[in-house]
Amino acid sequence: MNVFLLFQMAPSGGTIGIIVAVSFFLVFLGVAYVAFKALKKTARMAFRMIVVGIILLIAVAGSTLLWYFSSDGEPKLKPPTEKRR
């Protein structure tokens, strides 16, 4: 099977940036969920929602910035290799 042919080309910077941005967002989404559940007994609902909102705002801003700065738009082209014998 030619599955290994897929691994011969490195992913572009934009693809890596999207993966990092989504991972960053999912980590902070998990942190927001844990914070929401942890503050269930000790805080009022408004305070809990403010804390979760701030965490999600950081997640969205951070993942957007990671994606923006990692995808520069144009792929970097390598010069052709010289064949020497």
Answer yes or no: is pLDDT of 4 > 80: no
Task: Name the residue with higher pLDDT: 73 or 84.
Answer: 84
Give the pLDDT of residue 21: 82
Q: Let me know if residue 39 belongs to a domain.
A: yes
How many domains, the chain?
1
This prediction has a pTM of 0.61
pLDDT of residue 54: 92
Inside any domain, residue 61 = yes
Residue 76 lies in a domain: no
Assigned token pair, 73: 């738009």
Task: Give the pLDDT confidence of 50-83 residue by residue, as tens digits.
Answer: 888 999 999 889 888 887 877 665 655 666 677 7
Q: Which two tokens stand for residue 72?
A: 């520069």
Dihedral, 62, 65, 69, 74 alpha carbons, nearest 10: 130
36 is a domain residue:
yes
The domain in which residue 57 lies consists of 24-71
6-23 confidence digits (pLDDT tens)? 666 666 666 777 788 888
Q: Which residues contact 14 (CB under 8 A, 6 or more apart)?
A: 70, 71
